[in-house]
Chains A and B, each alone.
Chain A
Amino acid sequence: MAESVVHTQDTHSPEGGDPNRRDFIHIAAGAAAVGAGVMIAWPLINQMNPAADTLALASIEFDLTKVQEGQQVVIKWQGKPVFVRYRTPAELQRVIADDNASDLKEPQTDAERTKPGHEKYLVVVGSCTHLGCVPTFGAGDYGGWFCPCHGSHYDASGRIRKGPAPLNLVVPDYEFASDTRVKIG
């Protein structure tokens, strides 16, 4: 051990001269060790990402005839509640009138949140954008939803109007398979 220390001092000046071959070997070995560490760590980290069977549950179909006018049906999609709401003409009128309201935190028109020709149906993820509670149907100051956890008010278009939630209720990717069926996801 002592010999090798002496040897190191011989070839490598402590004042810091040019890097020599031994320095290069040290740096290269260190870099290889770090690289190997990352390669070992990655599968251990990545295993926590959604598994294939979880991702396979990505889409569902829903029969819209199950929803009565003025009501909503809550379905489970990817473990989250999804509200499918059949809005009354009065509710539709109100949300369209509010399209340019000044209290919209995330301004969106109702048309941007629905599919053309199917405006009476609203499909949103039923998780409050604040901390994920399920908002209560038909409550709150705007005729939409009210989140009991921290008091966020949504209108009948699922837009945040009052309270701590920062964003509108999320509209998931969905399409109309026919006039009475939607495919969510």
Chain B
Amino acid sequence: MSEHESTYVPKTGVEKWLDTRLPIIRFGADYMSLPTPRNLNYWWTFGGILALCLMTQIVTGIVLAMHYTPNVDLAFASVERIMRDVNGGWLIRYVHANGASMFFIAVYLHMLRGLYYGSYKAPREMIWIIGCVIFFLMIATAFLGYVLPWGQMSFWGAEVITNLIGAIPVLGEPILIWLRGGPAIDNATLNRFFSLHYLLPFAILGCVVLHLWALHAAGQNNPVGILIPKDRAKKDMLPFHPYFTVKDGFAIILFLILFAIFVFYQPNALGHADNYIPANPLQTPAHIVPEWYMLPFYAILRAVPDKFGGVVAMFGAIGVLFVLPWLDTSKVRSMRYRPTMRTFFIIFLVVGVGLGWCGGQLPDAPVIGSFKTFTLIDGDLNSYLWLTRVFTLYYFAFFLIIMPLIGLKEQPLPIPATISEPVLTGADAVEQKG
């Protein structure tokens, strides 16, 4: 917390000399001794995992850039050269490609943890908002990176996504040409996408510094969701190091096992086979799908019959997260003590996964069996189109209607005064039953 006093004592002469000129060791030491609520569970380990993911992507990315050629005639071959000829290139590329997926697995769990335990509520709004900025930058970076191998999915993904901007009334077309650097996706586009793909991770890094700064100022949330009273700080808090560095370390090991399973045994499971066909501007693949982590938003895009409306809905789905702290009217942070809200949260999880599933299907395909029911407006009721629309409706209703309303109406369970209380008096059993 911000009021925690510095306990660092410079020992050697060099440290003393440095401490009066650039107290960087003090800064690091203070950050490592940050008082941390002792009841943090494993859902709190994804912050450290995400830091590792970002560093992995930056390091492998810089190495890959030493061998990659951002030119429409050479890009695909240069990636194949990395895979076949560059020493250990296959490993570095597979780590980078699967690393993006791992990054998104971790960020989604990290965000859902924040959502469940109310980590976005006062006084932590800025941590959440900066986190949303990071998420948005991650999506942009991942999209730009997926274009670089210049396979069929790269090219047509870029075509479809940049066309979304063309949907903006009046200004869409000039902006589209400006963004692509020509009338179509071509060398100019690939070149600038490479430049921006190299840039954005450092923008993310800068936002991560702000994210941690805000976290340092407001202090960590915890599974009980209460602000820890000052007089309890000694009893209910532990220094971040070694207690939570060790806990995070263990979680990182488990996460790296999952990461390694993909890299070494299923390196292409999360990709698409069509991206091993060189880009062909004259032929569209039969079924264009984005990477799995974009599927829910892609589904929302397709749920709206109007082209521009779809774009607005897709960006709105991310935009709504930014104002989340002001949409939630409940004073109680943790959903442990909000049984009604927890039910809606679980439905939200199912809907989120459902949207991802729908995003990977053809909109006209039937959901159950292969029969037709009846046509509602512009599609058969037994189609992914309508399932997607139902899910999309819930997605927005969850944030815009359910969250403000439940906060006002619900009767939360009694909230413990300290984070030790549920453990010591056994009131935690309430959660087990609930």
Contacts and interface: CB of A to CB of B under 8 A. Distances in A.
Interface of A: 45, 48-51, 54, 74, 76, 78-81, 126, 130-134, 147-151, 164, 166
Contacts of A133: 156, 159-160, 284, 288
Contact of A134 (B164, B181, B188, B283): B283
A131 to B, nearest CB: 4
A151 B181 contact: no
A148 B188 CA distance: 27
Given A133-B288, A148-B286, A151-B364, A49 B181 contact: yes
Given A81-B281, A148-B285, 8 more contacts: A50-B177, A51-B188, A74-B282, A130-B307, A132-B159, A133-B288, A149-B288, A150-B363
Contacts of B185: 79
Contacts of A51: 181-182, 188
Contacts of A74: 282
Contacts of B162: 132
- Dominant secondary structure at the B interface: loop
Interface in B261-320: 281-288, 302, 305, 307
B178 interface: yes
A76 B185 CA distance: 12
Q: How large is the interface on B (under 10, 10 to 19, 20 to 34, 35 or more residues)?
A: 20 to 34
Contact of B302 (A49, A54, A150): A150
B241 interface: no
Given A78-B182, A78-B184, A130-B307, A48 B284 contact: no
Nearest to B162: A132
B330 to A, nearest CB: 39
5 contacts: A54-B182, A78-B182, A132-B159, A133-B284, A148-B287
A163 B211 CA distance: 44
B188 A149 contact: no
Interface in B156-187: 156, 159-160, 162-164, 177-179, 181-186
A134 B282 contact: yes
Nearest to B280: A134
B182 A50 contact: yes
The 8 A-B residue pairs with the shortest CB-CB distance in the complex, in nearest-first order: A79-B184, A78-B183, A133-B284, A131-B160, A132-B163, A131-B163, A134-B284, A54-B182
Nearest to A128: B284
B389 interface: no
A41 to B, nearest CB: 14
Contacts of B364: 151
Contacts of A76: 281-282
B186 A79 contact: yes
A26 B164 CA distance: 43
Contacts of A45: 178
